[in-house]
Amino acid sequence: MWQFKIIGFIAVIIATSAIGFLKSQQLKIRYKKLCAFQNGLMELKEHIRLNSGELDRILKQSFTIDYNDFTHLEKEDVEILKDFFDKLGMSDSIAEEKRCELYANLLNPRITGAKDKYMGLGKLYRSIGVLSGVFICIFFI
């Protein structure tokens, strides 16, 4: 009889810990995606400056991630990026260079906020996941 309870307790602790770790991982993914978008914008700026070719090709060369994939990003992050991509290619190359730099700078506070959130809340989510599993097990004993 105790074997089933112990297996159940372990399963509860594993499940709640996994939830905490997954929530923490989502914060980390957001931070890494924002950094990748910023790096891609700076590389796109250089490709535009060097007149490397047509827009579709240099977009694929500049971004290491899919530049149309906005999953794990907050609404404000998506608004900034969609605004950039919607108006991309409507100006001359000098204006586009400046737009790339402007939007990369607009992402700086978002990246800093995402990093702070990951460093603070990521640890909290992991701890709460483990401790809530332990608390549930103690409650059922």
Which pLDDT tens digit goes with each residue over 92-128?
A: 888 999 999 999 999 999 999 999 999 999 999 999 9
Average predicted confidence (pLDDT) for the chain: 92
CA end-to-end span of the chain, whole Å?
Answer: 13
DSSP 132: H
- From the list 61, 87, 76, the residue with the least C-alpha distance to 117 is 76
Examine the pLDDT at 6 and tell me if it is beyond 80: yes
Query: Three-class SS string for 50-87?
Result: CCCCCHHHHHHHHCCCCCCCCCCCCHHHHHHHHHHHHC
- The Cα 11–Cα 104 span in angstroms is 44
- The Cα 67–Cα 58 span in angstroms is 12
- From the list 125, 95, 101, the residue with the least C-alpha distance to 38 is 101
In the block, which residue shows the tokens 């989510």? 125
